[in-house]
């Protein structure tokens, strides 16, 4: 959350009622669906970092990829910088994504799996430049690749090497250089540090912050490590089983969590301080996350919620602005 | 958690483990020493490749080829485990020391029921127990680890349980013979935070009830702060610092421990502060440096650090650190 208040910046990305269902088993008629993302509403301001947290299977990665249309949405609407890039009402007739790919990029979780082992680093970074015809001469292309590698803290000489010759932290830097190649405005960072060692994580976090400042980037930062998300984000969305349950400014969300799930999640994060962790109160949830194939009726959290009432079992809670710029979906609020 | 300092449960003395790979010897554990009393919880913290798991596998005799113990001893209640033959080790493993692993998905056998796997551990170690008795004990154990309907669950297969449930079954399996020492190798790393909180609460609770000792291997300092009495911090196959949990967190002495604590964001941070990372990359264990393993990344690195291994300096009350910085300070003090 470097670089001051961004709450007056214009909205860059708007997501309305976005849904993504994946089909499983059977064909037409008896198909079952994994309801990975269910009616998500949110917006991201220019220049800010929007954090997305939740447990595995809550749909945070799917949401990130659906926003980029790497997964085609099931329904809903995505507006990027005033232009509609997906509208469920238009059926199959959707805008072409290639021009937007230059503006919207992604950094993947596992750097060793997301880099082609048979391409050199120079080829990996340069491929994006070729696709978008960004360099006119070979020399310009080489210079640009070298410049990108230096931006992420690697040497220009390393562009002839293959991904396996690098450590995990360096591989993630290559992934970042690849995303930066096309001068994007918006980057989805999908768990960019969770595969890395603790001492390397902070290097990458600092680098992402520096690049944001220099290049004016907007991030959607997805991670399950809430301490890191809280550190880097201006605003945070909390997801549970495909739903967004709460959204608010990073500090506000921690100091004043509204949704019972957010409270639980925050209290479950271990704090590296023996005195604090001995004295603080922890809410321990019973049971496990239900399956997104048969999500619970009403509020999806009611099976584990300590405050659940009869109403929670039947009615889906409405997504509302409880306090200024602080949204939540819960009946008890 | 009470500490019994007079009697030692386990003493590791200058243990060295190497892997003899085609490209050369990797000194995964390069001479580590520590001791543990009864009913103590010790955390071993380190990055991947620091040797923390190898060290634990050596205690329980699961070190696989090309790994080999090249020096030192492991005394368990006074007896050197490294001198045990195969038969003795089989008898010892599971009964005196047992282990739970990181990934409960891959560590349970998919073609046997939960009950079958729990009972197997018992029947192996105690020939006098009948199947009926073993089944009763298995159900008791599942109840202890907080699994509902245990009499139904023992007939189920691992794939029918969730990740958190499977880890509970793993814990039940580890505890069923009432070992004196439980080695937990990253038991919560594969789990979500809310499930991690459940498992940590469970382990604390069981530790209090059974008074066993636990070696808790993890890279998460938050988890260490929560559950451990003592901590050993490993880097590049060596223990760089060890001491009571309060000493390590409030008075860290080794630059690596300090750096690690500084580089982690805290969920309860009050104001935004830029992180202070440890620069550089982890050490290449095939070509380790001659001197201190952390030297190349250390902000206080001196000439001597690159040439010679640092000595371990006693800082009082069991707090030790291996660093030239402290050694020179000590000399100046004298």
Chain-centroid distance of CA B187 in Å reads: 10
Contact list, B245 vs chain A (CB under 8 Å): 274
Q: What is the pLDDT of residue B332?
A: 57
| Minimal-distance CA residue of chain B relative to A229 | B267
Going B51 to B55 to B56 to B57, the CA torsion angle's sign is positive
Share the mean pLDDT of chain B: 89
- Dihedral (Cα; B296, B300, B301, B303), 10-degree rounding: 170
State both tokens at B183: 């080695």
Predicted ipTM of the assembly: 0.84
The rounded distance, in Å, linking the Cα atoms of B273 and A103 is: 30
**How confident is the model over B14-46, as pLDDT tens digits?**
999 999 989 888 999 999 999 999 999 999 999
**How confident is the model over B130-152, as pLDDT tens digits?**
899 999 999 998 988 888 889 99
The rounded distance, in Å, linking the Cα atoms of B139 and B146 is: 11
CA distances, A49 to each of A1, A52, A187, A222, A232 (Å): 7, 10, 10, 10, 7
Domains in chain B, CATH or no CATH each:
4-96+179-269+282-333 (3.40.50.300), 97-178 (3.40.50.300)
Mutation site for A-interface testing, chosen from B161, B162, B192, B299 by largest number of A Cβ within 10 Å: B192
Q: What is the pLDDT of residue A29?
A: 67
**How confident is the model over A124-156, as pLDDT tens digits?**
999 999 999 999 999 999 999 999 999 999 999
State both tokens at A25: 């088993």
The rounded distance, in Å, linking the Cα atoms of A163 and B9 is: 46
CA distances, A222 to each of A65, A109, A201, A239, B139 (Å): 11, 9, 14, 11, 40
**How confident is the model over B93-111, as pLDDT tens digits?**
888 999 998 887 788 999 9
Sheet of A235-240, strands arranged across: A104-107, A186-190, A218-222, A49-53, A235-240, A243-249, A326-328, A320-323
Q: What is the pLDDT of residue B4?
A: 45
pLDDT at B178 over 80: yes
Q: What phi, psi does A172 have (nearest 5°)?
A: -65, -35
* Among A45, A20, A26, CA closest to A212: A45
Contact list, A226 vs chain B (CB under 8 Å): 193, 267
Helix H, strand E, coil C: the string for A156-219 is HHHHHCCHHHCCHHHHHHHHHHHHHCCCCCEEEEECCCCCCCHHHHHHHHHHHHHHHHHHCCEE
Q: What is the pLDDT of residue B2?
A: 43
Residues in contact with B34: Cβ distance below 8 Å, sequence separation at least 6, in sequence order: B11, B12, B42, B232, B239, B242
With a cut of 50, list the residues of chain A below it in pLDDT.
none
pLDDT at B127 over 90: no
The rounded distance, in Å, linking the Cα atoms of A142 and A156 is: 9
Are the beta carbons of A197 and B162 separated by less than 8 Å?
no
Q: What is the pLDDT of residue B3?
A: 46
**How confident is the model over B275-332, as pLDDT tens digits?**
999 988 888 888 888 899 999 999 999 999 999 999 999 998 899 999 999 987 665 5
| pTM of the full structure | 0.88
* Among B182, B161, B162, CA closest to B171: B182
The rounded distance, in Å, linking the Cα atoms of A156 and A150 is: 7
| Minimal-distance CA residue of chain B relative to A261 | B194
Are the beta carbons of B197 and A226 separated by less than 8 Å?
no
- The CATH H-level (homologous superfamily) assignment of domain A11-103+184-328 is P-loop containing nucleotide triphosphate hydrolases (3.40.50.300)
Are the beta carbons of B194 and A264 separated by less than 8 Å?
yes
State both tokens at A72: 């085609």
Residues in contact with B136: Cβ distance below 8 Å, sequence separation at least 6, in sequence order: none
The rounded distance, in Å, linking the Cα atoms of A330 and A299 is: 8
Distance from CA of B265 to the nearest CA of A (A): 6
CB pairs under 8 A between A and B: 134
* Among A260, A268, A259, CA closest to A323: A259
CB nearest A228 (choices: B220, B224, B265):
B265
The rounded distance, in Å, linking the Cα atoms of B238 and B18 is: 13
Are the beta carbons of A272 and B263 separated by less than 8 Å?
no
Are the beta carbons of B281 and A206 separated by less than 8 Å?
no
Region class of A279: left (phi > 0), else alpha (psi between -120 and 50), else beta? alpha
Q: What is the pLDDT of residue A248?
A: 95
Contact list, A269 vs chain B (CB under 8 Å): 193, 222, 267
Q: Helices (DSSP H) in chain B: which residue ranges? A: 52-59, 86-92, 104-107, 114-125, 131-144, 150-153, 163-175, 193-210, 221-227, 245-250, 255-263, 303-307, 324-333
Q: What is the pLDDT of residue B329?
A: 67
Are the beta carbons of B267 and A56 separated by less than 8 Å?
no
| Minimal-distance CA residue of chain A relative to B245 | A274
Question: Which of the 8 DSSP states describes residue B114?
Answer: H
């Amino acid at each position: 959350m470097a670089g001051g208040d961004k709450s007056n910046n214009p909205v860059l990305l708007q997501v309305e009622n976005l849904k993504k269902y994946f089909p499983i088993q059977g064909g037409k008629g008896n198909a079952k669906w994994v309801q990975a993302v269910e009616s998500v509403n949110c917006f991201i301001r220019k220049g800010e970092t929007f954090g997305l947290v939740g447990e595995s299977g809550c749909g945070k990665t799917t949401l990130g990829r659906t926003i980029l249309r790497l997964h085609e949405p099931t329904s809903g609407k995505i507006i990027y910088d005033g232009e509609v890039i997906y509208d469920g009402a238009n059926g199959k007739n959707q805008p072409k994504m290639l021009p937007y790919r230059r503006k919207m990029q992604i950094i993947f979780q596992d750097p060793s799996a997301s880099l082609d082992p048979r391409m050199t680093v120079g080829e990996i970074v340069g491929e994006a430049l070729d696709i978008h015809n960004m360099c006119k001469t070979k020399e310009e292309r080489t210079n640009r690749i070298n410049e990108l590698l230096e931006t992420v803290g690697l040497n220009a000489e390393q562009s002839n090497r293959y991904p396996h010759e690098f450590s995990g932290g360096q591989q993630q830097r290559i992934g970042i250089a690849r995303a930066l190649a096309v001068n994007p405005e918006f980057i989805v960072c999908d768990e960019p540090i969770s595969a890395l060692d603790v001492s390397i994580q902070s290097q990458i976090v600092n680098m992402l912050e520096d690049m944001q400042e220099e290049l004016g980037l907007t991030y959607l930062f997805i991670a399950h490590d809430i301490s890191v998300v809280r550190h880097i984000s201006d605003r945070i969305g909390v997801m549970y089983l495909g739903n967004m349950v709460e959204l608010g400014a990073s500090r506000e969300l921690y100091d004043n969590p509204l949704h019972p799930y957010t409270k639980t999640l925050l209290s479950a994060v271990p704090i590296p301080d023996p005195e604090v962790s001995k004295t603080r109160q922890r809410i321990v949830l019973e049971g496990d996350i239900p399956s997104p194939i048969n999500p619970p009726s009403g509020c999806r959290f009611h099976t584990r919620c300590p405050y659940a009432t009869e109403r929670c079992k039947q009615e889906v809670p409405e997504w509302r602005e409880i306090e200024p710029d602080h949204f939540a979906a819960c009946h008890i609020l | 958690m009470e500490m019994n300092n007079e009697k030692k449960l386990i003493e590791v003395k200058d243990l060295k483990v190497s892997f003899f790979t085609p490209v050369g010897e990797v000194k995964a554990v390069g001479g580590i020493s520590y001791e543990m009393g009864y009913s103590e919880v010790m955390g071993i913290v380190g990055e991947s490749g620091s040797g923390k798991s190898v060290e634990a596998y050596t205690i329980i005799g699961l070190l696989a080829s090309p790994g080999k113990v090249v020096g030192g001893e492991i005394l368990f209640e006074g007896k050197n485990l490294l001198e045990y033959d195969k038969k003795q080790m089989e008898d010892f493993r599971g009964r005196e020391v047992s282990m739970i692993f990181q990934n409960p998905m891959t560590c349970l056998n998919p073609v046997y029921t939960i009950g079958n796997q729990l009972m197997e551990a018992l029947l192996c170690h105690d020939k006098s127990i009948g199947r009926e008795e073993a089944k009763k004990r298995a159900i008791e154990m599942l109840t202890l680890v907080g699994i509902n309907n245990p009499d139904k669950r023992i007939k189920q297969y691992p794939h029918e349980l969730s990740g958190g449930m499977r880890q509970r079954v793993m814990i039940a399996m580890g505890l069923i013979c009432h070992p004196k020492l439980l080695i937990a190798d990253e038991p919560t790393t594969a789990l979500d935070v809310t499930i991690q909180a459940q498992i940590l609460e469970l382990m604390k609770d069981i530790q209090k009830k059974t008074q066993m000792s636990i070696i808790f291997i993890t890279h998460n300092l938050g988890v260490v702060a929560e559950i451990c009495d003592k901590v050993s911090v490993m880097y590049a196959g060596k223990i760089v610092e060890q001491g009571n949990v309060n000493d390590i967190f409030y008075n860290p002495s080794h630059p690596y421990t300090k750096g690690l604590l500084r580089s982690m964001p805290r969920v309860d941070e009050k104001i935004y502060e830029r992180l202070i990372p440890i620069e550089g990359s982890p050490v290449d264990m095939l070509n380790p440096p001659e001197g201190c393993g952390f030297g190349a990344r250390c902000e206080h690195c001196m000439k001597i650090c690159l040439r010679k291994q640092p000595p371990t300096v006693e800082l009082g009350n069991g707090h030790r650190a291996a660093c030239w910085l402290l050694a020179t300070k000590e000399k100046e003090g004298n």
